[in-house]
Structure 1
Amino acid sequence: MLTKADKQQDNNDLPPPSGAVGRSFLSRWTSLVGWMGIAGGIAVCLLSISAFIAPGYWFTDNMSFFLRQFFGAGLCGFLAGASGLTVAHRQPRLYGKAVLVLAVLLITVFGLMAARIDAVTSSTVNAPTTTSSSLRVVSINLERLFLADETLSAFLQQTKPDVLVLEETAWGWQRHRWQRRIGATPIAGHGALPDHLFAGRLGDLVFFSRFPISASKTIDVIGNAETHDEADREILSLTLDVDGAGLKLLALHPASPRTKPRWLDRQAYLATLNNQIQNSTADTTEPTLVIGDWNLSPWSGHFLKMLTDNNLRTAFPGGIPQTTRFFFDYRLHWLLGAVVDHFAVTPDIEIQRVELGPDIGSDHLPLIVDVAIQNRANAH
């Protein structure tokens, strides 16, 4: 018959409960960090996917601005979770399944992002013939940067744009400061600024061109003034005479959708823009270029719809969307930034090159686009 001491000795000889092997202080913390990484990774992946499945809502559509950051955070969470596989867990099977779920979600998010970029860049291209005219179009959100600023002037001297589209120009303030600083010298044609000028009625959008402007108008888009300042916006519609060929250009700058009312204003603006594009492509066979600060993510369903509905396509520097609007400091632009400055063209425009300019003192980087259109006057 076993004594009490024998029973105690038998209990001491039993193996420890499953999952308790090697549960040192370090392994417990590694397990905790792994679980936290997995939970955070799954959360940001779900937020990312929501931008694709529910673009009709303010919150989920705005998630499309942060997809790069979400994917990076999800990847870090996966690495933390994967490192946790090296230690024991109280529920090892559940932990392994959680890591697998996060891996599947990350692959899904990456696939959705890649497919969306392919969708907005792919289109039937009718390349111009050898008798074509090339031009450089530069778009800059100035954030009220003075037109005679030394850094901006040096950039324009180096880039030599044929067409310059400016947003957040504050044209009235620019002219007033120009008169005080420069004097009576005309703004158009000064330094590297092209000779032909057209400013929108609100002064937010301003257009310079080396080519003559054969037609121009401002389309007013009335916003909800009770919700935020500067609710009213404008679209510039211009036709350029490019070496005998007509080029239709639309410049835009809708409201930033940081709140739901602003998002609704942006959606109304995009609807007006869509009508303008449809009218332009229906009434004329001229190639059309749309450019500016769209305040719209390239992964947004609304960006895709705008391009597919009008048979437009775009391109990105190096084929990858890169930060055009940064926050706090340019050195953090990959971490704290968004892709909001875009262009789109009809199939009869050849995209030759796309790149971003340097930090010039604004909170946006210049968007530089080289395109070519057929010179109909010489094409026979």
Structure 2
Amino acid sequence: MAGARMDVAATGTMSQPAGRLIKFVSECCWLTLGCLVLCTFLAFFSSRFWVAELLANLRVQLVIAGLLVLFIGVFLRHWRLALLACVVIALHLSWFATAFPPVSNGDSFRHFVTVTSVNVLSENVQHDRVIADLIEANADVIAVLELTPMLDQKLRQDLPAYSHVMSRSENSGNFGVGVYSKYPLADAEYFESVEAIDSIAVTVMVEQVRGKEEKFRLFVTHPLPPMNGGLFEKRNRQLEDVADRIHRFRKQASAIPVVLLGDLNLTPWSPWFLELQSRSGLVRGISHFSLEPTWYCFPLFPFGLVIDHGLIEPSLACSDFKVGKPMGADHRSITLRIASSD
């Protein structure tokens, strides 16, 4: 009997730490869920307020946190916790429709052009890694953001195949921009949607094997990061201006397809991304379901955002989409293999 009492006492002693741990985990989950509910509520106002839009850009992270709470709730059989986590997750899932490639309008496509966009980070001096990444991408046209004079010179020297160039590099600031093309460029223009930030619009004359020369209009832009109310307004104004320019061009020259490349400083799950698509008439250029980040705070998936984009004409199709490797910057390059309908 004495031995039995000792076993019961020992079991009770061991279960107390486990009970305290379960209680602690449960309380942490409820606290996390409360934060998720607050963030989800604020995200409904993301079209108007910069803090709310920052939260909307973090939908992937919010869903990851929600899934963690859901799994723990199911494991602990805290069904109310799990149910509320499901509701929070469901409120974000519809926004990930842009993670899927758009439905093609045509049945048969042929390769048209390959384009790459890369934000090299103006402070990045690992230019050889940038060059190696671009060589591996093997694009026909490259858009470079945060371009410095030193990198501009190196790109011209080390990538002689890209003999058609228009660039405005900057030593100060983060808004140098350039286009490097294997094909001739025409009707080139720089324009400012907001003060002191240049964007590019240029027609690329694509040479075809059949002897027929085709072309597309390329827009390259890099708006400000929306880290306060003023920057939020300027970023939105730049996106609206670029979208309006694209819309006007598409009305005037409907036979020439349009491609938009850039670090747009917003994710596809922001309402402003949907506004950009609607206003310009372009669609996100991806070939498969993709949540892969193009910018990292730390080099792990939960600490990255999808903010570098290629948008294309609905009459085109993206047959392949790739995110590049680390090359000394906080961004990764994106490469789109674009096809056109026969």
2:131–2:158 contact (8 Å) kept in structure 1:
no
Return the index of the structure with the highest Cα Rg: 1
User: Matches of residues 89-104 of structure 1 in structure 2 within 5 Å?
Assistant: 96-104=79-87
In structure 2, relative to structure 1, the CA distance for the partners of 1:83 and 1:342 (3 Å cut) is: same
Match status 1:245 vs 2:214: yes
Q: Distance in 2 between matches of 1:302 and 1:276?
A: 17
Measured after TM superposition, the shift of residue 354 of structure 1 is: 0.4
Once structures 1 and 2 are overlaid, which stretch shifts more, 310-319 or 337-346?
310-319
* 1:131-178 superposed Cα distances (whole Å, 9 cap, x missing partner): x5532101110102679822222223332221000001123x545xx4
Match of 2:191 in 1: 219
1:128–1:372 contact (8 Å) kept in structure 2:
no
Measured after TM superposition, the shift of residue 317 of structure 1 is: 6.2
* 1:281-331 superposed Cα distances (whole Å, 9 cap, x missing partner): 111020000011010111001101211233321144641121101124x3x
TM-score by length of 1: 0.76
Match of 1:32 in 2: 24
Q: Distance in 2 between matches of 1:81 and 1:71?
A: 15
Match of 1:79 in 2: 71
In structure 2, relative to structure 1, the CA distance for the partners of 1:145 and 1:196 (3 Å cut) is: farther
1:153–1:192 contact (8 Å) kept in structure 2:
no
Once structures 1 and 2 are overlaid, which stretch shifts more, 98-107 or 157-166?
98-107
2:216–2:258 contact (8 Å) kept in structure 1:
yes
Return the letter of the residue paired with 2:225. S
1:313–1:345 contact (8 Å) kept in structure 2:
yes
Match of 2:321 in 1: 354
Question: CA RMSD for the aligned pairs?
Answer: 2.7
Secondary structure, aligned partner of 2:71: helix
Return the letter of the residue paired with 2:102. S
Return the letter of the residue paired with 1:297. T
Match of 2:51 in 1: 59
In structure 2, relative to structure 1, the CA distance for the partners of 1:103 and 1:156 (3 Å cut) is: closer
Match of 1:266 in 2: 235
Measured after TM superposition, the shift of residue 199 of structure 1 is: 1.1
Return the letter of the residue paired with 1:263. F
2:286–2:336 contact (8 Å) kept in structure 1:
no
In structure 2, relative to structure 1, the CA distance for the partners of 1:166 and 1:103 (3 Å cut) is: same
Mark the runs of 5 or more structure 1 residues left unpaired by the alignment. Answer: 1-21, 86-94, 224-231
Match status 1:167 vs 2:131: no
Instruction: Show structure 1 runs of 4+ deviating over 6 A.
Output: 145-148
Return the letter of the residue paired with 1:205. V
Match of 1:143 in 2: 121
Return the letter of the residue paired with 1:204. G
Once structures 1 and 2 are overlaid, which stretch shifts more, 343-352 or 363-372?
343-352
Q: Distance in 2 between matches of 1:292 and 1:361?
A: 18
Return the letter of the residue paired with 1:44. L
Measured after TM superposition, the shift of residue 349 of structure 1 is: 1.6
1:344 aligns with one of 302, 306, 311: 311
In structure 2, relative to structure 1, the CA distance for the partners of 1:245 and 1:271 (3 Å cut) is: same
Match of 1:191 in 2: 159
Mark the runs of 5 or more structure 2 residues left unpaired by the alignment. Answer: 1-13, 208-212
2:30–2:81 contact (8 Å) kept in structure 1:
yes
1:142–1:166 contact (8 Å) kept in structure 2:
yes
Return the letter of the residue paired with 2:33. G
Secondary structure, aligned partner of 1:245: strand
Q: Distance in 1 between matches of 2:322 and 2:151?
A: 27
Secondary structure, aligned partner of 2:122: coil
TM-score by length of 2: 0.83
1:212–1:240 contact (8 Å) kept in structure 2:
yes
Match of 2:283 in 1: 313
Secondary structure, aligned partner of 1:359: coil
2:247–2:280 contact (8 Å) kept in structure 1:
yes
Q: Distance in 2 between matches of 1:349 and 1:357?
A: 22
